[in-house]
Amino acid sequence: MAMAGSPGAKKGILERLDSGEVVVGDGSFLITLEKRGYVKAGLWTSEAVVEHPNAVRQLHMEFLRAGSNVMQTFTFSASEDKMESQYFEHAEEAVWAVEVLKEARKPVAATMCIGPEGDMHGITPGECAVKLAKAGASIVGVNCRFGPCTSLKTMRLMKESLWAAGLKAHLMVQPLGFHMPDCGKGGFVDLPEYPFALEPRVATRWDIQKYAREAYNLGVRYIGGCCGFEPYHIRAIAEELAPERGFLPPSSDKHGSWGSGLNTHTKPWIRARARREYWENLLPASGRPFCPSLSKPDA
Using one digit for the tens of pLDDT, what is the confidence trace for 64-121? 999 999 999 888 765 555 555 587 899 999 999 999 999 999 999 999 999 999 999 9
Outline where the chain has alpha helix (H): 13-18, 30-35, 48-51, 53-66, 91-102, 125-135, 148-164, 205-218, 231-240, 242-245, 268-271, 276-281
128 is in an annotated binding site: no
pLDDT for 46 equals 82
pLDDT for 87 equals 78
Bridging pattern class, strands 23-24 and 139-143: unpaired
Q: Which of 73, 78, 18 is nearest to 47 (CA)?
A: 78
113 is in an annotated binding site: no
Using one digit for the tens of pLDDT, what is the confidence trace for 145-174? 999 999 999 999 999 999 999 999 999 999
Q: Return d(Cα 279, Cα 45) in angstroms, integer.
A: 38
Count Cβ atoms below 10 Å from residue 83 Cβ, excluding itself.
9
pTM of the model: 0.94
Low-confidence ranges of the chain (pLDDT < 70): 1-9, 77-85
Q: What number of residues does the chain have? A: 299
pLDDT for 43 equals 78
Please report how the helices 205-218 and 231-240 are oriented relative to each other, as an axis angle in degrees rounded to 10. 50
227 is in an annotated binding site: yes
Which amino acid, residue 116?
P
